[in-house]
Every structure is written in structure tokens, then in C-alpha cells.
Amino acid sequence: MINPIVWTDEAVVLLDQRALPEVETYVELHELDEVIAAIRDLVVRGAPAIGVTAAMGLAQAVRKMPLDVSGFTTAFDAACVSMEAARPTAVNLAWAVRRLRRLVERHLDEGIPAVCARMEKEARFMHAEDIEMNRTMGRHGSVLVPAEACVLTHCNAGALATAGYGTALGVVRAAVEEGKKVSVMADETRPFLQGARLTAWEMQRDGIPCTVITDNMAGHLMSRGDVDLVVVGSDRIAANGDVANKIGTYTVAVLAREHGIPFYVAAPTSTVDLAAVSGADIPIEERSGEEVVVIDGKRIAPVGVPALYPAFDITPAKLVDAIVTEEGVARAPYTESLRACCDASAARTEQREAAS
């Protein structure tokens, strides 16, 4: 299995996704600032992967924090604020930070060393839990995949974007494991090329047929019947089912609806933000236009011409046929179905916390 995030006793170790597919290299991160920079600079990316990495980064950082309650809480609070600011759209980051904050609040009276030990255990648990949830989600989602199908996906919502197995690609993997004949069409996903570099790499490693297309080919290929369904991941889902995902997802959803092709989203309940009433409440990360006009060190537009890079877009709920979570498949009206999934997940977490 692809392991994009590893935590040894000495360091948070990440598979450097900027170097793939040419080079498979890991970076070792010892300091909080290094982990934050790795998230910001896309060494690790994908909402669930960012959440797990953040948890490990914080659990590693608290080992060096003051041992008195006041000093510890001040340092921990500052670390949480810096961590959350690394990438604004992927809500799994804030979710992971909130989960560790809650743990600290509940157990502070046990003393700082005990809290640090609990945080380490929790971060490791979140890693294992993410893989487990993806497998469950995959099984729920594979019901939506016909016995023979071409699945178009955008960006990379695979093992690399999670602790392992993947969300959208987890659905593909589960369908293949069930014996279905599935192939993947991967939008290249300009400008970071998550589809061409990462999705294609993962699929090739697993022996799942995968064809890369440029982002502007999807409509044509749909019109000639080459795509059976679309499955994408998400960075944040609003309470009404509006979905934030990699820039270009909205275009794919509009095209899918035009051609009568089902459009599905696979994401864990940790990606659902019930505090966001609709997509309008989701902050969209704006990255530097330089990332658009410079490819592999080569500038492709005249110097001085501005470029825009909103990194995500919002697909309105009305274009989403179903949202696959680890708690089951949610369908419209999403305000009710997503809340039910989140309630089921929260009940499970509460049970576990009460037992520990």
C-alpha cells in the first residue's frame, strides 16, 4: 500500500508529492514550522492527508513545549493557530486541530506529560482511522459503480491525499477488488497536475487502467460516451451539500449533468462542515499566480501579465447525485442526510472518548 505519511519516533516523514512521479523521496520533519511549511508548499496535500499530518505535527511539537499548564496552553494555542492557517479550504485541517484541542482540554488535569502521550496516541489513531474509513467508504461507494465502467476523476483523491487507500480512488479500488472492470480517466488538473502526476502514478502502481486527459477534454469525451460516471473527493462540504474541491471540479459537474452522467463525491464526515450553511461560507484558498504561469521553472506567459489561482471551486449541491461517506451514501436533501451521517460519526467518537 502507498504510505504517504509515516511517523517515526524522531520525525514526521512525508512522501514528497512535488517530486512524483519522477522521484519517490521522503522528507523528514522535526519541527512544527517544517510541518506547517510542508502543508503550505504541497509536499503533502489532499484534505484528509493534511489533517492527519497536522495532528502528527502538533503531537510532535508538544514534546518540546513548557511543562507548566500556563506555558503549555499558550504555546499549544499558538501552534494550533499557525497550523490552521497553513491551508484555509481543507476543513480536515481545522477538524484535526479541534480534535486535539478537545483532547487537551479534557485531560489537562492529568499533567502535561500524560497529555503529550495521549496526543501521540490520538494522532496515530487518526492515521489508522482514516485508512479504515476510506476502506468503508470505498465499499459504500462501489455500489454506485457498474460492473464495467470508466470513472472520470479530477485532482487526486487517492492514497496520496489521505493516510492511505483514498476517497474517490478508494471507491475505484473497492470496485476493482469486487471484481468490477473499472478504468480511470484522470483530468491532468492544472496547475499542480495532481491528476497527471499523482492519480496516474497511483493507478499504475495498482495495475488499474488509467488514461490522462487535459482538463479541457472532459466535455468532448463525455459527449462521445467515453465516461460512465464521475467520482471526486472534496476539501469541504457545506451543510446543504455544496462541495468545495479542486478548481475545475465545478466545470466537470456541469458537463456531467449536461450529458446525463452521474456525479458523485466521496469524502469522510470530517470533510463535512455543518457550520457552513452553503458554499458561500467556504473560504477559497487563493494561491500565487506564479504557480499558474511557471511550469517546471519555465515561464509560459509574458513577464508582467497577471495570473489568477483560486485553488478550489464550489459545485452546487443540485449537481451532486450522491455524497459517499464512511457512514453511508447521502442523497438530497443533503441538509438532512449529511447531518445524519455526521451525527452517527460523532456518536462513535464520543463513545470512544468516553471509554479512554
Catalytic residues: 235
Alpha-carbon span 291 to 71, nearest angstrom: 39
Which candidate, 184, 245, 233, 231, places its Cα nearest to that of 212?
Answer: 184
Query: CA 43, 46, 52, 54 torsion: positive or negative?
Result: positive
Span of 54-62, 73-81, 214-222, 229-237 interacting with ligand MRU by CB under 6 A: 229-237
| Shortest reach from residue 268's CB to ligand MRU, in Å | 8
**Binding test (CB under 6 A) with ligand MRU, winner from 126, 246, 315, 337:** 246
| Shortest reach from residue 335's CB to ligand MRU, in Å | 22
**Binding test (CB under 6 A) with ligand MRU, winner from 123, 161, 210, 218:** 161
**Binding test (CB under 6 A) with ligand MRU, winner from 144, 157, 159, 319:** 157
Site string for ligand MRU, 17-56 (x = CB under 6 A): ----------------------------xxxx--------
Grid coordinates representing 327? 457512514
For ligand MRU, the closer CB: 60 or 199: 199
Span of 108-116, 135-143, 160-168, 205-213 interacting with ligand MRU by CB under 6 A: 160-168
| Shortest reach from residue 342's CB to ligand MRU, in Å | 17
The reply to whether 235 sits near ligand MRU by the rule CB under 6 A is yes
| Shortest reach from residue 280's CB to ligand MRU, in Å | 19
Alpha-carbon span 292 to 100, nearest angstrom: 35
Alpha-carbon span 205 to 156, nearest angstrom: 14
The reply to whether 236 sits near ligand MRU by the rule CB under 6 A is no
Helix (H/G/I), strand (E/B), else coil: 216: helix
| Shortest reach from residue 292's CB to ligand MRU, in Å | 13
For ligand MRU, the closer CB: 92 or 240: 92
The reply to whether 167 sits near ligand MRU by the rule CB under 6 A is yes
The reply to whether 173 sits near ligand MRU by the rule CB under 6 A is no
For ligand MRU, the closer CB: 60 or 153: 153
Alpha-carbon span 204 to 3, nearest angstrom: 16
Radius of gyration of the chain (CA): 20
The reply to whether 315 sits near ligand MRU by the rule CB under 6 A is no
Under 8 Å between Cβ of 156 and 50: no
For ligand MRU, the closer CB: 99 or 246: 246
Angle between the 168-177 and 112-142 helix axes, to the nearest 10 degrees?
Answer: 60
Which ranges of the chain does DSSP label H, i.e. alpha helix?
32-40, 47-61, 69-84, 91-107, 112-142, 168-177, 200-206, 218-223, 249-258, 290-293, 334-355
Grid coordinates representing 283? 473560504
Looking only at residues 326 through 355 of this chain, which bind ligand MRU when binding is defined by CB under 6 A?
none
Alpha-carbon span 289 to 310, nearest angstrom: 9
Contact set with ligand MRU (CB under 6 A): 45-48, 90, 155, 157, 161-162, 167, 194, 233-235, 245-246, 311
